[in-house]
Amino acid sequence: MIIHDKQNGLFTLHTRSTTYQMKAGPYGVLLHTYYGPRISGGDLSCLIRYADRGFSPNPDEAGADRTYSLDTLPQEFSCAGAGDFRLPALELELPDGSHVADLRYTGCEIRRGKYALEGLPAFFGGEGDADTLAVTLEDRTAQVSVELLYGVFEEYDLITRAVRVTNRGEGPVYLRQISSLCLDFQRADLDFITFDGGHTVERYLHRSPLRPGVQSVGSVRGMSSHQHNPFVILCERDAGEEHGVCYGAMLLYSGNFQAAAERSQFEDTRLTMGIHPFHFRWVLAPGETFTAPEAALVCSPGGFGPMSRQFHRVIRAHLLRDPLAGSPKPVLINSWEAFYASFDTDKLLSLAKEAAALGVELFVLDDGWFVHRDDDTSSLGDWRADERKLPGGLAGLAASLRALGLDFGLWIEPEMVSEDSELYRAHPDWVLCPPGRPHIRGRGQLVLDFTRPEVREHIFQSIRSALAGVDIRYLKWDMNRCLTQVWSPSLPAGRQGEVYHRYVLGVYDLLERFRREWPRVLIEGCAGGGGRFDAGMLYYTPQIWCSDNTDAIDRLHIQYGTSFAYPTCAMGAHVSVSPNEQNGRVTPLETRGTVAMSGAFGYELDVRALSPEEKETVSRQIAAYKDCYGLIHYGDLYRLSPPGADGVPAAWAHVSPDRREALVSVVAGSTRAARPFRTLRLKGLDPALRYRVNGGESCPGDVLMAAGYPLPAPRGDYQSFQLHLIAE
C-alpha cells in the first residue's frame, strides 16, 4: 500500500508488517523519516532533529540557518559534492569537470503493478501483487534528473528499489558512482552481517557491531564472487532467529558490487548498495538514461527467521522463472566426478543404466564432450560434439538415455575460450585484453568480450547448432575464472569504465536468449560453484550450484549461510564420494544424503562402485526426497540450530504452509565420550495439533516446540537422522 499525503509531501509505504516513509522536506530535499515495524501513520519527520554542527555546511537556501545541513539529515538518495560527507548514492562528473550533484524533489507517480527494468533482472508482479511509486528528483544546474522507483509487495514485506538517471543537458555527463539503495537510520546500535568466504567456502556468516566509519564488502572480480555475497543484514544487537528487528538487503546483480554501512560522527547509520565504483565511469550523452540494478529490502520485526522466509516466498513467487514450475525437478546424476573428461558412450551409458535403476531421473554430461576436449587446456569455444567419444553425437546419447528412462542434461561454459581452440585462432581479438599486453590466464582460460553483440551471437549460434535435434531438458551454465585486463576494442578510451557493467548486461542478454530458445530447459547457474550465487542470476537460472565443495559437513555451513536470503529450491546440492575430494573427510552416505536433500537434489559420484548396501541407501534417499519434494521446495524453512555451535547438532526443518507436515533434519558433529543428552525444540508447528513422528509415536505440537524432542545419541562421527511429522 502506498499513501501520498500531497499537502505535506509525505510518502508512506505499508506492507503487512512494516512501514517505510519519506518526505519532501524544506527546500525540496527528499528526507528519509522511518523504516521499521508497521505503524498506524503520522508524519515521522518529527523524529529529525536540527542543530548547528561544526564543519557541517549549509545549502544556500537555508540562508543564516546553520542548523540545516545535508551532512546531518537522513536522506533518501544522497549525493556527492553538495555538503554531505557520508557515503554517497550518486557521484556525477559534469562537463565542466566538477563533481557536484544536488537533487531536489519535482514530482511523483503511483501505479498498480510492479515496474520492470529493461535488460536487468527484477522482481515481477501484476496489479494484484504489487504497487509502484516513482519519485522524480532533479539537479537543475547539472540538468540531470533521477527517478527513484519503489516496488511494494505488501504480502511479502518486500520493498524494491531501482534508479534511473537521465541527462537532460546539452553535454555529456559521467556517472562515477551509482547506488541502487541508500537507507539512513537515526541510530547506530546495530550489527552488520555479511556472508563471506572463498572458493569452496562460500557464504559463511560473519557478524560484527558497527564501528565508527565505513564497513563494506564487495567484489571487483567481474562477478558477485565467492568471497562476498550481495546480500547483507543490519540488525539490532540482540537480534536472533525469532526476535529483534533486522533489515535484509540484496542486490539483483551479478557483477562488481559494493555494500557499505557507515556509522557517522553523530551516531546514525547509512547503508548503501550498488555497482562497485572501481573502474566504473558511464558516459551519459544528452537524452540518455542509465538504469541501475534493483535492490530489495525486507524488514523483520521478529528476527532472522521471518525475514528469510519472506525472502524465500517472494523469490519463489516473483523472481524465479522456472520452466518446471508445478512439477518436481528431476533427481540428477552428474558425470564429472565419475569420469572427468575421460569417457566414451559406453562408459556414460553404463553409469546411466545403474543410476536409472536406483531412481535417478536426469543424466548430466559435464565437461569433456566437445571436440578435442581431453583436459582443461584446450577447446573452450568450439561447441561441437567430439565424435571420438560420442559417435552418435549428443542426439544419439540423448536418445539412448531416453530409452533408459532418463532425461538428458549438458554442461557448457559460454563466457570463456581456450587459446588452443578454433575460435581463438579465428578471433584472437574477441577476448578482454588491452592491446600490447600478454594475457593473464585463469584456469588456462581467457574471457570472451561479452560486451560485443557479434561475440554473443557467435556463441549462441554455436551452442544452438550443437543442440539441434537434441532432446535436452537441462543446461549447466558454468564460469570458471574472474575477469582481468578488462578492456574492449568496441569502446573508445573514455568509455572503458563501462566494460564491467556492459559485460554483465551481455551475460543477461545471452541468458535471456537461451530461455527463449529452450523454454522447457532448466538452466542451472554455476561459477566454479557458488561464485555467482545472487538474486540477479536467479532471475535467469532458477537454481544455482551452491558450491564446488560437496563435503556434507562443510555444506552445512555453506547452505546455512545461503539460506538467510535464498530458498532451498535454488540451491544445487549433490551427494558425492567419501572420502571427499575437496577435504578428504569421511562422512556416512546417510548424512551426505540428508544434507543434499535440502536443495535441488542429485548425485556426483560413480554409483557403479557402490556396495549393494549403499545402493539400497541411495534408492531410499531418492524415494524419501521425492516423497517430501513439495515440503522441501515450497515449505517454510526454520533454522533450529546452526552448524558448529559448541557441539550442538546442526538442525533445520521444512514446514508446510498449513503447518500440518514437517521434515526435520539433524546432523551431529564428531563424537566423543560422555556426550551430553540433547533435546531439540522445533518451530513452525501448530501448537493445537498432534503430530505422528516417522509413522510412530504421537506428540502434541506445543510440546515439541516448548519442551522439545529427545535426540538419539549418535554412534560415530557425523551421524544424521530425519523426523517426518504428519498431523493426525
Let me know the angle formed at the C-alpha of 146 by 142 and 151, rounded to the nearest 5 degrees. Answer: 175
User: E strands along 464-580, which residues?
Assistant: 474-477, 522-525, 543-545, 571-576
Dist CA 326 CA 319 (whole Å): 15
Q: Are 528 and 199 in contact (CB under 8 A)?
A: yes
Cα maximum dimension of the chain: 86
Instruction: Report how far apart the first and last C-alpha atoms of the chain are (Å, whole number).
Output: 39
191 is catalytic: no
Residue 10 belongs to what H/E stretch?
strand 10-14
- Identify the active-site residue in 202, 534, 548, 606: 534
Dist CA 565 CA 549 (whole Å): 20
User: E strands along 625-718, which residues?
Assistant: 636-641, 650-655, 661-667, 679-680, 690-693, 698-700, 709-710
- Identify the active-site residue in 43, 288, 614, 702: 614
Three-state SS letters, 14-36: ECCCEEEEEEECHHHCEEEEEEE
Dist CA 117 CA 162 (whole Å): 8
Dist CA 620 CA 708 (whole Å): 27
User: E strands along 15-118, which residues?
Assistant: 18-24, 30-37, 90-93, 104-112
Three-state SS letters, 256-278: CEEEEEEECCCCCEEEEEEECCC
Residue 173 belongs to what H/E stretch?
strand 173-185
674: number of Cβ within 10 Å? 4
Dist CA 390 CA 371 (whole Å): 10
C-alpha cell, 52: 548547528
Helix, strand or coil, per DSSP, at residue 349 = helix
The position carrying cell 555529456 is 172
| Closest C-alpha to 248, from 652, 635, 564, 638 | 564
Q: Are 505 and 452 in contact (CB under 8 A)?
A: no
Residue 598 belongs to what H/E stretch?
none
**Strand bridging mode 173-185 / 90-93:** antiparallel
**Residue 249 φ/ψ region, left for φ over 0, alpha for ψ in the -120 to 50 degree band, beta for the rest:** beta
Q: Are 522 and 569 in contact (CB under 8 A)?
A: no
Distances in whole angstroms, Cα of residue 398 to Cα of each of 128, 343, 402, 410, 562:
42, 16, 6, 10, 33
Instruction: Fill in the DSSP letter of residue 653.
Output: E
C-alpha cell, 17: 508488517
C-alpha cell, 108: 511523483
Count Cβ neighbours within 10 Å for each residue of 1-36 and write b for 16 or more, e otherwise.
Answer: ebeeeeeebbbbbbbebbbbbbbbbbeebbbbbbbb
Residue 295 belongs to what H/E stretch?
strand 295-300
Residue 293 belongs to what H/E stretch?
none
Count Cβ neighbours within 10 Å for each residue of 506-529 and write b for 16 or more, e otherwise.
Answer: bbbbbbeebbeebeebbbbbbbbb
C-alpha cell, 680: 531439540
614 is catalytic: yes
> Any idea which residues carry the catalytic annotation?
534, 614
